[in-house]
Amino acid sequence: MNTNLALLLLLAPFLGFLFNVFFGKSVGKTASGTIGTRAVALSFAVSVYFFLEINQTQQAIQIQLFDWIQISNFKVDFGFLLDQLSVLWLLFVTGIGALIHMYSISYMHDDENMHKYFAYLNLFIFFMITLVIGSNLLVLFIGWEGVGLCSYLLIGFWHKNQEFNDAAKKAFIMNRIGDLGLLIGIFIIGSLFSTLDYATLKTAITGASDLNMYWISVAAFALFIGACGKSAQIPLYTWLPDAMAGPTPVSALIHAATMVTAGIFMITRLNYVFDLAPDVQNIIAIVGAVTALVAATIALVQTDIKKVLAYSTVSQLGLMFLALGLGAYEVAVFHVITHAFFKACLFLGSGSVIHALHGEQDMRKMGGLKKVMTITFVTFLISSLAISGIPPFSGFFSKDEILLVAFEHNKILWFIASLASLMTAFYMFRLLYLTFFKEFRGTAEQKSHLHESPTLITFPLIVLAILATLGGLISLPTNSWLNNYLSPLFTKVATEQHHFGTTEYALMFIAVIGGLVGIGIAYAKYIKQSQVPAEDAEITGFTKVLYDKYYVDEIYDFLFVKSINGLSRFFRDYVETTLTSMVFGLAKVTNEIGFQGKKLQSGSIGFYLFAFVIGMCAIVTYLFLVQ
Partner 1 sequence: MNNILNEIGIENYIFLSTILFCIGVFGVLYRRNAIIVFMSIEIMLNAVNLLFVAFSTYHQDAQGQIFVFFSMAVAAAEVAVGLAILVSIFRNLGSIDINNLKNLKG
Partner 2 sequence: MSTILIIFCVLSAVTIATAFLTIYSRNPIHSALYLVISFFSIAGHYLLLNSQFLAIMHIIVYSGAIMILFLFTIMLMNLNKENEVHKPRITRLGAIVSFCLISLVLIAIFINSKPIVGEYISTGADYQSIKVLGLVLLNEYMVPFEFASILLLVAMIGSVLLSKKEKTEK
Partner 3 sequence: MNTLIAIIGLGVLCLLFEIFELRKAIIPITIIGLLAVLGLNISEFNSPAAYYNNMIIVSKFSTAFSGLFIILTIFLVALSHKFYEHQQSKISDFIAIKIFLLAGTVAMVSFGNLAMFFLGIEVLSIALYVLAASNRLSTKSNEAGLKYFLMGSFASGIILFGICLIYGAMGSFDVIEISELSQSAELPVWFPIGIVLVTIGMFFKIAAVPFHFWAPDVYEGSPTLTTALMSTLAKVVAIATLFKLLTIMNADISPSFQIVLVIISMASMTVGNIMALRQVNVKRILAYSGISHAGFMIMTLLSTANTAGTLLYYTSAYALAGIAAFSVIIYVCKNNENEDMVNFHGLGKTNPLLAAILTASLLSMAGIPIFAGFFAKLFLFNNMLQAGFVALVIVAVINSIISVGYYFKIILAMYTKEPNEERTGTPVTIYAVAVIAIVLNIALGLFPSFVLDLLA
598 binds partner 1 (CB under 8 A): yes
Q: Do residues 133 and 90 touch, judged by C-beta distance below 8 A?
A: yes
Q: Judged by CB under 8 A, how many residues of this single chain contact partner 2?
A: 12
Q: In this complex, which beta carbon is closest to partner 3, that of residue 558 or of residue 607?
A: 607
Residue 286 has a CB neighbour count (10 Å cut-off) of 18
To partner 1, the closest distance from the beta carbon of 598 in angstroms equals: 5
Q: In this complex, which beta carbon is closest to partner 3, that of residue 4 or of residue 581?
A: 581
Q: Do residues 551 and 545 touch, judged by C-beta distance below 8 A?
A: yes
To partner 1, the closest distance from the beta carbon of 558 in angstroms equals: 59
588 binds partner 3 (CB under 8 A): no
Categorise residue 396: left if φ over 0, alpha if ψ from -120 to 50, beta otherwise: alpha
Among positions 599-618, residues that touch partner 2 (CB under 8 A) are 604, 606-607, 610, 613-614, 616-617
State the binding partner of 542 from partner 1, partner 3, partner 2, none, CB within 5 to 8 A by kind. none
Q: Do residues 121 and 250 touch, judged by C-beta distance below 8 A?
A: yes
To partner 1, the closest distance from the beta carbon of 574 in angstroms equals: 38
Q: Do residues 198 and 254 touch, judged by C-beta distance below 8 A?
A: no
To partner 3, the closest distance from the beta carbon of 601 in angstroms equals: 6
State the binding partner of 593 from partner 3, partner 2, partner 1, none, CB within 5 to 8 A by kind. partner 3
The one-character DSSP state at 536 is G
Q: How far apart are CA 534 and CA 538, in angstroms?
A: 6
Q: How far apart are CA 69 and CA 418, in angstroms?
A: 46
Q: In this complex, which beta carbon is closest to partner 2, that of residue 550 or of residue 612?
A: 612
For partner 2, the binding residue among 537, 587, 600, 625 (CB under 8 A) is 625
Q: In this complex, which beta carbon is closest to partner 3, that of residue 537 or of residue 625?
A: 625
To partner 3, the closest distance from the beta carbon of 614 in angstroms equals: 7
For partner 1, the binding residue among 70, 209, 601, 627 (CB under 8 A) is 601
Q: How far apart are CA 398 and CA 199, in angstroms?
A: 28
- Binding piece for partner 3, criterion CB under 8 A, among 252-260, 414-422, 502-510, 585-593: 585-593
Q: Which helix (H) or strand (E) holds 26?
A: helix 2-27
The contact pattern for partner 2, residues 565-604, with x = CB under 8 A and - = no contact, is: ---------------------------------------x
Q: In this complex, which beta carbon is closest to partner 3, that of residue 575 or of residue 616?
A: 616
- Binding piece for partner 1, criterion CB under 8 A, among 387-395, 411-419, 518-526, 607-615: 607-615
State the binding partner of 571 from partner 1, partner 2, partner 3, none, CB within 5 to 8 A by kind. none
State the binding partner of 207 from partner 3, partner 2, partner 1, none, CB within 5 to 8 A by kind. none
State the binding partner of 500 from partner 3, partner 1, partner 2, none, CB within 5 to 8 A by kind. none
Q: How far apart are CA 310 and CA 361, in angstroms?
A: 13
Among positions 447-476, residues that touch partner 3 (CB under 8 A) are none
To partner 2, the closest distance from the beta carbon of 608 in angstroms equals: 11
Could you write out the three-class secondary structure of 37-81?
HHHHHHHHHHHHHHHHHHHHHCCCEEEEEEEEEEECCEEEEEEEE
Q: Judged by CB under 8 A, how many residues of this single chain contact partner 3?
A: 25
The contact pattern for partner 3, residues 320-339, with x = CB under 8 A and - = no contact, is: --------------------
Q: Which helix (H) or strand (E) holds 248?
A: helix 248-252
Q: What b-and-e string marks burial along 437-452, b requiring 16 or more CB atoms within 10 Å of the CB? A: bbebbbeeebeeebeb
585 binds partner 3 (CB under 8 A): no
CA 226 to chain CA centroid, Å, is 10
Q: Do residues 538 and 446 touch, judged by C-beta distance below 8 A?
A: no
Q: In this complex, which beta carbon is closest to partner 3, that of residue 207 or of residue 606?
A: 606
Give the amino acid at 30.
T
Find the radius of gyration of the CA atoms of the chain. Answer: 30
- Binding piece for partner 1, criterion CB under 8 A, among 215-223, 449-457, 581-589, 600-608: 600-608
Question: Which are the contacts of 65, defined by CB distance < 8 A and separation ≥ 6?
Answer: 3, 77, 78, 79, 80
To partner 3, the closest distance from the beta carbon of 576 in angstroms equals: 23
The dihedrals phi and psi of 366, each to the nearest 5 degrees, come to: -115, -155
608 binds partner 3 (CB under 8 A): yes
State the binding partner of 590 from partner 1, partner 2, partner 3, none, CB within 5 to 8 A by kind. partner 3
To partner 3, the closest distance from the beta carbon of 624 in angstroms equals: 7
Of the CA atoms within 13 Å of residue 188, those in its CB half-sphere come to: 19
Could you write out the three-class secondary structure of 268-304?
HHCHHHHHCCHHHHHHHHHHHHHHHHHHHHHHHHCCE
To partner 3, the closest distance from the beta carbon of 117 in angstroms equals: 52
593 binds partner 3 (CB under 8 A): yes
Which whole-number Å values give the CA distances from 538 to 299, 530, 541, in the listed order?
A: 18, 18, 10
Q: How far apart are CA 80 and CA 570, in angstroms?
A: 48
Q: How far apart are CA 367 and CA 438, in angstroms?
A: 6
- Among candidate residues 305, 453, 448, the one with its CA nearest the CA of residue 374: 453
For partner 2, the binding residue among 66, 214, 595, 624 (CB under 8 A) is 624
The one-character DSSP state at 197 is B
Interface ranges with partner 3 (CB under 8 A): 587, 590-591, 593-595, 597-598, 601, 603, 605, 607-609, 611-612, 614-616, 619-620, 622-624, 627
Interface ranges with partner 2 (CB under 8 A): 604, 606-607, 610, 613-614, 616-617, 620-621, 624-625
Interface ranges with partner 1 (CB under 8 A): 598, 601-606, 609-610, 613
